[in-house]
Structure 1
């Protein structure tokens, strides 16, 4: 895992954001199709924000970009932040890569950014994401009933949270 830079953006990364099977639970699916330019612009914009950090998840000694994880926005007065995740390479789903990235970004947020609590929300049918966060020690904090629309039907959002004392090991 390392800070994602505009130079890391590739057509492969762009394709994740435009594939319905991969973007099914991402809000980007409601936007116009992503382009290399729009993705690089997003990565640059996040890099300029002091309250967000976007990391790329890389395998094969840092060569193969398989996903991203972001911490933020961080509310400095409350020292809380959000975590969001995307594993774009389907062959990496269910391999524990997401859980490992979640644990790493949490340690970073607690130690380096002095965040006291992290939160994440995911569409209820997105069991893979929920399991990855649970394996990383996250706890259920609630459900937002019928909060989003999925396939034009109301869908619950699962809310999870993590404090430093919740981290495994």
Structure 2
């Protein structure tokens, strides 16, 4: 499955997409600072197991974010989908440091959100991130998500308690953003 946007191609990530660069993102302290994966060693085997598990899951979709050149710059995931409620989570990683701050995250969020609303029976999407992760928060807000809440001192970040920002989007939120 492939989702195309103006500058990106999102395609379901395969074990074959796991490269030394990808493992490097997952092991880089700066890149994984706000990821839960930072709590364990990331090896080709552990990353392959994760990609294979998600590929086999009926309620999760992991897309690699690729430039037209075929360069893999990050990942975006939808799920798990909770069909009874019509909701799903969205998570994002722009692993290639040279591609951060260029709007690729926002573009990928918009594309995968449209896919979720149009094809997965989802009525609402949610995302959460550590409060200091301003780049991720900005990308989701620009894509049309709205701030819904703050979980105070919810997680540990480098030995300090850290707030968690909660964002959400409905199809209407996304359309309002396009009109702005």
Name the CA distance, whole Å, in 1 between partners of 2:156 and 2:43: 25
Q: TM-score, normalised by structure 1?
A: 0.97
Matched residue, 2:114: 107
Q: TM-score, normalised by structure 2?
A: 0.91
Matched residue, 2:165: 158
Q: Aligned pair 1:64/2:61, yes or no?
A: no
Matched residue, 1:132: 139
2:24 to 9, 12, 15: 15
| Two-structure CA RMSD over aligned residues (Å) | 0.7
Name the CA distance, whole Å, in 1 between partners of 2:49 and 2:157: 27
Matched residue, 2:48: 40
- Runs of 4 or more consecutive aligned structure 1 residues displaced over 6 Å after TM superposition: none
The CA deviation at 1:96 is 0.2
Name the CA distance, whole Å, in 2 between partners of 1:34 and 1:131: 27
**What is the count of residue pairs matched by the alignment?**
167
The CA deviation at 1:20 is 0.4
Q: Which runs of 5+ in 2 are unaligned?
A: 1-9
Matched residue, 2:3: none
Counterparts of residues 24-103 of structure 1 (less than 5 Å): 24-31=33-40, 33-61=41-69, 63-103=70-110
Q: Which runs of 5+ in 1 are unaligned?
A: none
Deviation digits for residues 35-81 of structure 1 (CA, Å, limit 9, x no counterpart): 111111110100110000000000133x1100000000010110100
Name the CA distance, whole Å, in 1 between partners of 2:56 and 2:82: 16
